[in-house]
Structure 1
Amino acid sequence: MSTKTSVRRTRFRSRSVAALTALLLPLAAMVGLASPAAAAASATATYTKKSDWGTGFEGSWTVKNTGTTTLSSWTVEWDFPVGTGVGSAWDATVTKSGTNHYTAKNVGWNGTLNPGASVTFGFNGTGPGGGSATGCKLNGASCDGGGVPGDTAPTAPGTPTASEITNTSAKLSWSAATDDKGIKNYDVLRDGAKIATVTGTTYTNTGLTAGTSYSYSVQARDTADQTGPVSGSVAVKTTGGGTDPGTPPGDQIKLGYFTEWGVYDRNYHVKNLVTSGSASKITHINYSFGNVQGGKCTIGDAYAATDKAYTADQAVDGVADTWDQPLRGNFNQLRKLKAANPDIKVLWSFGGWTWSGGFGDAVKNPAAFAQSCYDLVEDPRWADVFDGIDLDWEYPNACGLSCDTSGPAAMKNMMQAMRAKFGANYLVTAAVTADASSGGKIDATDYAGASQYMNWLNVMTYDFFGAFAAQGPTAPHSPLTSYPGIPQAGFNSADAIAKYKAQGVPAKKLLLGIGFYGRGWTGVTQAAPGGTATGAAPGTYEAGIEDYKVLKNTCPVTGTVGGTAYAKCGSNWWSYDTPATIATKMAWAKTQGLGGAFFWDFTGDTANGELVTAISNGLK
């Protein structure tokens, strides 16, 4: 069982990544207002708020040439409400002037627009007012194309009304807009983002989540492709659902991985969650791992999961297993744990570092794969144990233990099939990369598209650096932020979370990852990060890795960097999180509006659950 312990525990990233490139100079470094180019009468600019995470949002502008001659450049100007601002931007150079006036100019490669062509630029905004951009001008003229002689923009359509509302759909109807040249079509907006374009005055939105609130409005476009003002909005709440199964009432998610193989060498059992006090401080457990092979979800270690007999002193409830009972092992102990702690939800996690190779074949037929997973998770012998499924694919359309070429849509297709099969009342989640380097693993997959079918994403913000680079440089494996001398740009928690938000994943669907272990080197002479090494430091189960419960005593912390801790003891150099650095990370997670935190894994904590306690207290 030591092979499972050492191999499947490891989750480090690929070290071959492209260099990070700067997208935009900070606004504070930009002054002045660019002079608008000559007015282009036959062009429009349309603003969309793509996502909102409470303290900020993602916005985008689309510039379209609706005329018959080529545009050689474009400049968009607008005003935001006080308290709302523009941070980092891409595909345009943005400057601020006056109280809150912004000007965006094309960059060198996207200024030329042929007739009918369009270009989109975007930015991350701050503050709560990202849905309201006023005073828009495009090359000095009206953004709605009102500069076209003899042509006016459409009027606002009537405020939509909702009917035929179900758990997963709602029908919208609205009165027509008017225009001197005629109406071409309507954009349907949900929560400020366009979801459809239709020619009539009705639209049925499907694929919604039960018991969830949405806001809808519509916007007309005339035959010259000018858009008019957005209609009033209607609030719609789908039926059913009850309490969201993914979010504990009034609390944030506190999730821990329970390793199937931990019952062997590590002698860690479900009862340890009780004796350590951790059971009362968590909300969810990911049971890891099931395998993915032959296009199906399959059981991992059947003996540990369903057959291992527990004596009375080992059992959660003090009752010994009998030889003839239909279910024993971890699954039965989890059942007992849930009986004593009914608020805890348990997910069965499939894949992981060692068993991710099967996902590529499985997603060739997502529906069949989802059916196999559902049949296994909902097996009548243990259906009451599990509340959902977690897919730990390391890494879609990128390289981990092996390389995958399924394409950027594979993850989305898989999650869509899982949600369709499991339904709205089951949890569907995934462990995902934290590689925020330019052109890195986050960029390789449509995680935003996948997230619409998921309850949350466990962002694996650890294993950035370690003795897999045997000669160093030494660096903390789980930095919260970047720091001078960090070996790789984009390899830190803050950059990973920011990139997911920019891609369009809601902040509340992102969980921050914490490692309950350290990574270390030996042959190190320099106490501070950045030193050279001769190889991996000795570890109890694997060279270069050691549990927190061991390191806190054998190699106490000597410094902090990037929001995490490091220690030098003799010629060994380790990095790991402590209760103090976890408290800092949890405070940061709350400021970012994240859904909570998760950790890998229970076995690395102390007997009294120091690290679980730090997460629980930090998220209160």
Structure 2
Amino acid sequence: MHDSPRPRARFRALVSAACCAVLGAGPLAGAGTATAEPAAQPAVKAGSKVVGYFTEWGTYDRKYYVKNIETSGSAARLTHINYAFGNVTGGKCAMGDSYAATERTYTAAESVDGVADTWDQPLRGNFNQLRELKKKHPGLKVIWSFGGWTWSSGFGEAAKNPAAFAQSCYDLVENSKWADVFDGIDIDWEYPNACGNTCDTSGRAAFKNLMSALRAKFGSGNLVTAAITADATPGGKIDAADYGGAAQYVNWYNPMTYDYFGAWAATGPTAPHSALNSYSGIPQAGYYTSATIAKLKGLGIPASKLLLGLGFYGRGWTGVTQSAPGGTATGPAAGTYEAGFEDYKVLKAKCPATGTVGGTAYAKCGNNWWSYDTPSTIATKMAYKNQQGLGGTFFWELSGDTTGGELIKAIN
């Protein structure tokens, strides 16, 4: 699950503690066409895509700026950045926080290029910082992601007129003030025709129609991608939308193969939120990465259009006495920004891994129990990614890594 920002008074890059991401992650007449199609994007070697989410609101409480992507060494290892999030409201794409995106004045110390913004420059904020980052890394692509957990409720209205939605998105992404910043659009609808963020009942074809309209409008020269559910259970959320039929319109999918389990089940049982494989005692059959990938490939989606999802964070419980998975708990463990959630950069020191299960790590410290990926378990997942012929890797999100980019180095 990808959380969108709350109203501007409170920006947080976390999920609702009440819900679990995975439990929610034909030709269209009248679809518009781009009047001037850009040149085709340079190809990225199959299997080598590395896509990291950058959160618009992370510049507030997290103090994580675009500059940090550069200083951590992450920029040199990324092929794409997903900028999260734009809003979906009134059946249209809309700005998320315009101040953070285009207006905030950056000091020299905060800027990618070491030069302070001026009050009269045409574009400031995150967008200008991303422009500066792309100048340093000409091969780096930036995709504007719309939706997320909180802002997915608008997709039901958008699905009523996909062509109009696509036109609004194109007009916003390709705005002349920042058209050079973005190389395409990402849709994070959680979840089509299923009770996720809201109980959307727009029909199984709605997602396919929406992606068809976006591809028609953005043309072949722009990237069109989507973050999708990882719920591979029979009759689950993958089955609720025509992801197989829509695959022809996307460059790739980002199946959110994390948040399978978490402290929204307050008393447990404890379980890793991003296991690669099943294990004895897993609380829910099919709640692991390889099951999700197998299900999606079974729909006819090419492996090259599937990226392996990683969480640069952990999920945890407190009141736990058992070290191995499957123990009972009394509630979510304390976290910096939200109970039951903590960045990897904090957990590696605060609660180091004490074991592995299902291809991921877990940690028992005091009466707290956490699960998260480490450089070692990411290496295991990369071997799986290569064996499966997947198109690459994506992760949520950049600020969870160490200042030296420990996890993204493990990807590469």
TM-score (norm 1): 0.62
After superposition, the C-alpha distances for 1:40-63 in whole angstroms (9 at most, x for unaligned) are xxxxxxxxxxxxxxxxxxxxxxxx
Q: Which runs of 4+ in 1 moved over 2 A?
A: 1-4, 6-16, 240-245
- Paired letter, 2:20: F
Code of the aligned partner of 1:436: A
Q: Deviations over 1:307-345 (max 9, x none)?
A: 000111111011110000110000000000001100000
Counterpart position of 1:610: 406
1:386 partner letter: F
Partner of 1:75: none
- Which letter does structure 1 place at the counterpart of 2:203? G
Residue 344 of structure 2 is aligned to residue 548 of structure 1: yes
Matched AA of 1:356: S
CA shift in 2, pair 1:596/1:9, >3 Å? farther
Between the two structures, name the one with larger relative contact order (CA 8 Å, sep ≥ 6): 2
1:4 matched residue in structure 2:
11
Match of 2:396 among 592, 595, 600: 600
C-alpha distance 319-374 of structure 1, shift in aligned 2 (>3 A): same
2:179 is matched by which residue type in structure 1? A
Larger radius of gyration: 1
Partner AA of 2:204 in structure 1: P
Q: Answer yes or no: is 1:361 the counterpart of 2:368.
A: no
Residue 462 of structure 1 pairs with residue 258 of structure 2: yes
> Which residue of the partner structure matches residue 500 of structure 1?
296
Q: Which secondary structure state, in structure 1, belongs to the residue aligned with residue 172 of structure 2?
A: helix
Which deviations, in whole Å up to 9, do the C-alpha atoms of 1:330-384 show, x marking residues without a partner?
A: 0000000001100000000000000000000001000000000000000110000
Contact 1:464 1:478 in 2 (8 A): yes
Whether contact under 8 Å (2:46, 2:304) holds in the other structure is no
Q: CA deviation at 1:458?
A: 0.3
Residue 3 of structure 1 deviates from its aligned partner by: 3.5
SS in structure 2 of the partner of residue 443 of structure 1 = coil
Counterpart in 2 of 1:201? none
Q: For 2:211, which of 411, 415, 429 is the aligned residue?
A: 415
Name the CA shift for 1:415/1:331 in 2 (closer, same or farther; >3 Å): same
Partner Cα distance (1:388, 1:241) in 2: 11
Matched ranges for 1:479-518 at <5 A: 479-518=275-314
Q: Quick check: 1:286–1:349 contact (8 Å CA) kept in 2? A: yes
1:13 aligns with 2:5: no
Deviation, 1:4, is 2.6
1:306 matched residue in structure 2: 102
C-alpha change, 1:14 and 1:477, in structure 2 (3 Å) is closer
Counterpart amino acid of residue 13 in structure 1: A
Instruction: Specify the SS of the correspondent of 2:21.
Output: coil
What is the CA–CA distance in structure 1 between the aligned matches of 2:47 and 2:296, rounded to whole Å?
Answer: 23
TM-score for both structures, normalised by structure 2: 0.93
Would the alpha carbon gap of residues 15 and 311 (structure 1) be closer, same or farther in structure 2, given more than 3 Å must change? closer
Contact 2:23/2:229 (8 A) holds in 1: no
Deviation, 1:13, is 2.9
Structure 1 residue matching 2:75: 3-state secondary structure: helix
Q: 2:85 aligns with which of 275, 289, 313?
A: 289
- Mapping of 1:194-593 within 5 angstroms? 244-245=41-42, 247-249=43-45, 252-593=48-389
Gaps of 5+ in 1: 17-194, 196-206, 208-239
CA contact (8 A) 1:8 1:352 kept: no
User: 5+ residue gaps in structure 2?
Assistant: 1-7, 32-36
Aligned length: 394
Contact 2:11 2:60 in 1 (8 A): no
Q: 1:324 to 1:8 in 2, by over 3 A?
A: farther
Q: How much has 1:244 moved relative to structure 2?
A: 5.0
Code of the aligned partner of 2:87:
N
Residue type of the partner of 1:412? K
- In the alignment, the residues of structure 2 paired with residue 407 and residue 582 of structure 1 have an alpha-carbon distance, to the nearest angstrom, of 36
Identity, in percent, stands at: 69
In proportion to residue count, which structure has more helix?
2
Q: Assess, with a 3 A threshold, how the Cα gap between structure 1 residues 429 and 400 changes in structure 2: closer, same or farther.
A: same
1:403 Cα offset (Å): 1.2
Distance 1:359 1:330, change over 3 A: same
Rounded to whole Å, the distance in 2 between the matches of 1:8 and 1:572 is 20
TM-superposed deviation, 1:250: 6.4
Residue correspondence of structure 1 range 28-177 to structure 2 within 5 A: none
